[in-house]
Structure 1
Amino acid sequence: MTAASGPLRSASDIAAGVRTGELSALEVLDDHLARIALRESEIHAFNHLTEEAARAAAADIDRRVAAGEDPGPLAGVPVAIKDNLCTSGVPTTCSSKILEGWLPPYDATVVTRLAAAGAVAVGKTNLDEFAMGSSTENSAFGPTRNPHDTTRVPGGSSGGSAAAVAAGFAPLALGSDTGGSIRQPASLCGVVGVKPTYGTVSRLGLVAFGSSLDQVGPFSTTVADAALALEVMGGHDPGDSTSLPQPFPSVSDHLDDGVDGLRVGIVTEMMGEGIAPDVAARVRAAADALAAAGAEVDEVSVPAVAFGLSAYYLVAPAEASSNLARYDGVRYGLRIEAATTGEMMELTRTAGFGDEVKRRIMLGTYALSAGYYEAFYGKALKVRTLIRRDFDAAYERFDVLLSPTSPTTAFPFGDKTADPLQMYLNDICTIPTNLAGHPAMSVPFGAGDDGLPVGVQVLAPALGEVAMFRTAAALEAAAVPVAATTEGSAS
């Protein structure tokens, strides 16, 4: 089996084959490494490949299977790790110059749990610097390209992870989602992407951006693979003070339950202004498919989501300005020498942070400053409460909600970089869920008028992952897949 001709297998199929001895973990890895060698120079999904360590891990899994052991539910499954998750002894850069040369002394909890389940990490993926962006154009190491059309962005900030799965480099990848950074690139790259309920998956070892918003979640080619990954990664972690003291729900057991009688609401505020007509049409088609499968579908208003973008761009930068204060040139990462400590810090941060990170730090510092705190940050927190209340009211009538994931399909490079507001508007449908702390996921559901993937977003109340995944599985069954192409130029 070669990378050019071999079939792409799901994570579930790979793990089943490796556990029975039908497949060799090393051969599975070699196949994916060959795929990476074939297109990585064109796509740039990775900041760092861990080929040697991956081969050692795969060989150990094969040895354990031969000895009659069970390596775990993800035995031999290649996985790509977003480069803002700590990996012991492996560079973790957040795609920023300021973390140059930093090798974490420990693994993130999710990385540890994946390895314990038999997954094989193949590398660290590219992202918008410190996860701040919607296109992966803000990386200090250059942009990632969309495997469906390399003249288009893959979305962000987890663009490298989404592109890695879409290109067949790995059947699973990890991302982080602060305002849509898993779901939006999943939509643009035509893969499944999940942001779980806040607190159900450990944040220990995730480099912080917005601590009350950040969540780790998976990218995959199938809904079942995403469910499997979350069941492996999720559950209480005593090392994370925001971790809920309960196991992650067994969503895999309910994927075949169907949606008969499930109440589905289409969010009207996410179907109007700013949403491309071809994207809105795919959401309507998804709603029709659910209705045909037995769901009760209707419109629902969640009025406060209209203020989500404004509130988010006060809350997230405020938390970022606090979290990123630690990058001072003293303890780790980049250091530009100077005559005084103050000058050293200024020069280090000037050279180490990119323009978007500086913009958000200044925005957040201003919002938290004396005289402005209550007018800006305090008011944003009140809006956040209104958003939660409006969602709660909607979930009294509906089990899940439906909306576009991204307002458009993948856009060309440079199309929105000159106007930050236009870039921020890419997240209008995803941000409200982060502010509420609820789960949501993007499921591929056909293509737009340009032939590029469209993702439909399924939203659920806190700890409502079972209903969310049931809906996602029904959409997946009804969807027409979009084949990846090599259109465009990588130059």
Structure 2
Amino acid sequence: MSRLADELCALSATDLATAIRRGDLSAVEVTEATLARIEDCNPVVNALCTLNTGAAIADARRLDRQRQQGEPLPSLAGVPVGIKDITATAGLRTTFGSPLCRNHVPAYDAEVVARLRRAGAIVIGKTNTPEFAAGANTVNPVFGATRNPWNPALSAGGSTGGGAAALATGMIALAQGTDLGGSLRNPAAFCGVVGLRPTPGLVPSAPNPAPWDSLQVDGPMARTSADTWLALQAMAGSSRHATLSTAGDLPGRGLPLELQPAPRRVAYIADIAGFGIDPAIATLCREAAGRLSASGCEVVDLELDLAAEIPAYLTLRGQVIVSQLLPWLDQREALGPNLQANLETGLALSTRDIAHAQHRRAALRQRLLALLDDFDALLTPTTTVLPFPVAENYPSHIAGRPMTSYIDWVAQTFLWSLPGFPVASVPAGFTDCGLPVGLQIMTGPWQDARALALAQRIEDNGPFRLASPHRGVPARAEHSHQIPPQDMAANRERSLP
């Protein structure tokens, strides 16, 4: 791979789009550089599971012709984007990471994909996910494991793990994902990128098998907060196809993050779930929060124990998973053990259980709204643990203490899903062993721009450093990182001409 191609893949989405609109770069050369980067990095991290090579080149040529003919180009012109493999893409295989859908090719684009295309983004391919996105370690029986780009022996997180790993290695410049309990934030923290869980309804989720659900949302992921904001502006807006779609516009649209309202007072909460936080994570996150003081923002240390809300989340999650997997209930013996267990939990719920969880959720929302009257944002570590071995389904210990449940370690993110507010995860720094750490930023409803503006203030001033995946990953592992040859062949065959 050429040095020029490496340099192109290191550019931000904002810089790529600007250069292509000006004619300083062509969409085709950016797409070709991206495909070369994928060929170099993807065999190690296995972030992209289905490529869209032919259609991506054709779309790039179309954009270049438009520019040559003097037509104005849209905001994401020529920017390579990865689409999560649970999100419908017309003519491009969408497997949900499940053998039940191994050869599923949608005839339509999901609303969020259609919007990215209209904004000029080039769909490079699909990013890997756990089966039906149920899990925080990106491993599935169709494509295997996605590996952490900073150490491929470790997990990239999930469930948008493929998107996060592809961003960190420069294989894409933007990623689309979903977030139920942290699926945009957890992998962003593990891979050293930015992920945003938007205010529910801001980005339309359509089609949606659970159309009135506000627990799972679509959202963007990128290498910088500015790029995440650029993607959000393309994704957001009302849609008659989405039941929970907002009727209003995105607050702050068109303004760069540095012109969004400046924070005056924020609260730093070390641990919202009470399970403990890895000491390296705790140190880096508090230091990152403290950097806001240099810009005149007051940072207040606050204790907030939300452990009592964990059962409410687990109940509502069970309800959502049953709704989403209803068409496959009669085939659930073919699903992985995580999904089967989640389905059994969801099917055992009573109406009283669900009603009680909804009441707890409503009370939590009011409690946090009152807190956000006093603070511009609430900051907390994104994860409780550092990236763990990819062959493990989940970590067994948090800060040296054994977990009581396999899902304890993601309580830091799923508790912040409950109130329905925007939450961003931004890189807070790197540990001594070179692993990234993420800091979460929650703001009030519809204050997505403020969350990203705060994230931008926390980011380091230096240019983003691409991960260079280590070579020499063992050829045999409990979950192979290699895409099975027959599936790679199918990937190419199912790319549009």
- TM value normalised by structure 2: 0.88
How do 1:70-469 residues align onto structure 2 when only pairs under 5 Å count?
70-205=72-207, 211-250=213-252, 253-257=255-259, 262-270=264-272, 273-303=275-305, 305-327=306-328, 345=330, 348-351=331-334, 353-368=335-350, 373-374=351-352, 376-417=353-394, 422-469=405-452
Alpha-carbon shift at residue 138 of structure 1 (Å): 4.2
Mean Cα displacement is larger for which, 385-394 or 141-150?
385-394
Deviations 1:137-189 (A, max 9, x none): 34542110111100000000111111110111001011100000000000000
Residues 31 and 422 (structure 1), Cα distance of their counterparts in 2 relative to 1, 3 Å cut: farther
Sequence identity (%) = 36
Whichever residue aligns with residue 159 of structure 1, its letter is: G
Whichever residue aligns with residue 455 of structure 1, its letter is: G
How do 1:468-487 residues align onto structure 2 when only pairs under 5 Å count?
468-477=451-460, 484-487=467-470
What is the alpha-carbon distance in structure 1 between the residues aligned to residue 123 and residue 463 of structure 2?
30
What secondary structure does 1:150 align onto?
A: strand
What secondary structure does 2:446 align onto?
A: coil
Whichever residue aligns with residue 124 of structure 1, its letter is: K
Contact 2:284 2:429 (8 Å CA) reproduced = yes
Q: In the alignment, which residue of structure 1 is the partner of 2:473?
A: 489
Contact 2:251 2:447 (8 Å CA) reproduced = no
What is the alpha-carbon distance in structure 2 between the residues aligned to residue 66 and residue 291 of structure 1?
48
Contact 1:210 1:316 (8 Å CA) reproduced = no
What is the alpha-carbon distance in structure 2 between the residues aligned to residue 486 and residue 165 of structure 1?
12
The answer to which structure, 1 or 2, has the higher relative contact order (CA under 8 A, 6+ apart) is: 2
Contact 1:109 1:203 (8 Å CA) reproduced = yes
What secondary structure does 2:439 align onto?
A: strand
Contact 2:82 2:174 (8 Å CA) reproduced = yes
Contact 2:136 2:186 (8 Å CA) reproduced = yes
Contact 1:446 1:482 (8 Å CA) reproduced = no
What is the alpha-carbon distance in structure 2 between the residues aligned to residue 49 and residue 2 of structure 1?
23
Residues 206 and 159 (structure 1), Cα distance of their counterparts in 2 relative to 1, 3 Å cut: farther
Alpha-carbon shift at residue 72 of structure 1 (Å): 0.4
- The RMSD of aligned alpha carbons is 2.3
What secondary structure does 1:122 align onto?
A: strand
Whichever residue aligns with residue 325 of structure 1, its letter is: L
Residues 429 and 390 (structure 1), Cα distance of their counterparts in 2 relative to 1, 3 Å cut: same
Whichever residue aligns with residue 395 of structure 1, its letter is: L
Alpha-carbon shift at residue 126 of structure 1 (Å): 0.7
Residues 301 and 209 (structure 1), Cα distance of their counterparts in 2 relative to 1, 3 Å cut: farther
What is the alpha-carbon distance in structure 1 between the residues aligned to residue 289 and residue 273 of structure 2?
12
Match among 12, 17, 20 for residue 10 of structure 1: 12
Whichever residue aligns with residue 228 of structure 2, its letter is: A
Deviations 1:4-62 (A, max 9, x none): 74351111111111111110100000001000001211111122101001010001000
Residues 259 and 418 (structure 1), Cα distance of their counterparts in 2 relative to 1, 3 Å cut: closer
Residues 219 and 121 (structure 1), Cα distance of their counterparts in 2 relative to 1, 3 Å cut: same
Deviations 1:334-367 (A, max 9, x none): xxxxxxxxxxx4xx4322x211111111100001
Deviations 1:208-235 (A, max 9, x none): 6993311111111111110010001101
Contact 1:445 1:454 (8 Å CA) reproduced = yes
What secondary structure does 1:218 align onto?
A: strand
What secondary structure does 1:454 align onto?
A: strand
Mean Cα displacement is larger for which, 388-397 or 121-130?
388-397
What is the alpha-carbon distance in structure 2 between the residues aligned to residue 89 and residue 462 of structure 1?
36
What is the alpha-carbon distance in structure 2 between the residues aligned to residue 65 and residue 443 of structure 1?
34
Whichever residue aligns with residue 450 of structure 1, its letter is: C
- TM value normalised by structure 1: 0.89
Residues 5 and 439 (structure 1), Cα distance of their counterparts in 2 relative to 1, 3 Å cut: closer
Structure 1 portions without partners, runs of 5+ = 329-344
Deviations 1:457-485 (A, max 9, x none): 11111111232122111101468966624
Alpha-carbon shift at residue 282 of structure 1 (Å): 1.1
What secondary structure does 2:338 align onto?
A: helix
Whichever residue aligns with residue 456 of structure 1, its letter is: L
Alpha-carbon shift at residue 287 of structure 1 (Å): 1.8
What secondary structure does 1:33 align onto?
A: helix
Contact 1:279 1:404 (8 Å CA) reproduced = yes
What is the alpha-carbon distance in structure 2 between the residues aligned to residue 197 and residue 17 of structure 1?
31
Alpha-carbon shift at residue 260 of structure 1 (Å): 5.4
Whichever residue aligns with residue 83 of structure 2, its letter is: I
Whichever residue aligns with residue 319 of structure 1, its letter is: V
Whichever residue aligns with residue 30 of structure 1, its letter is: E
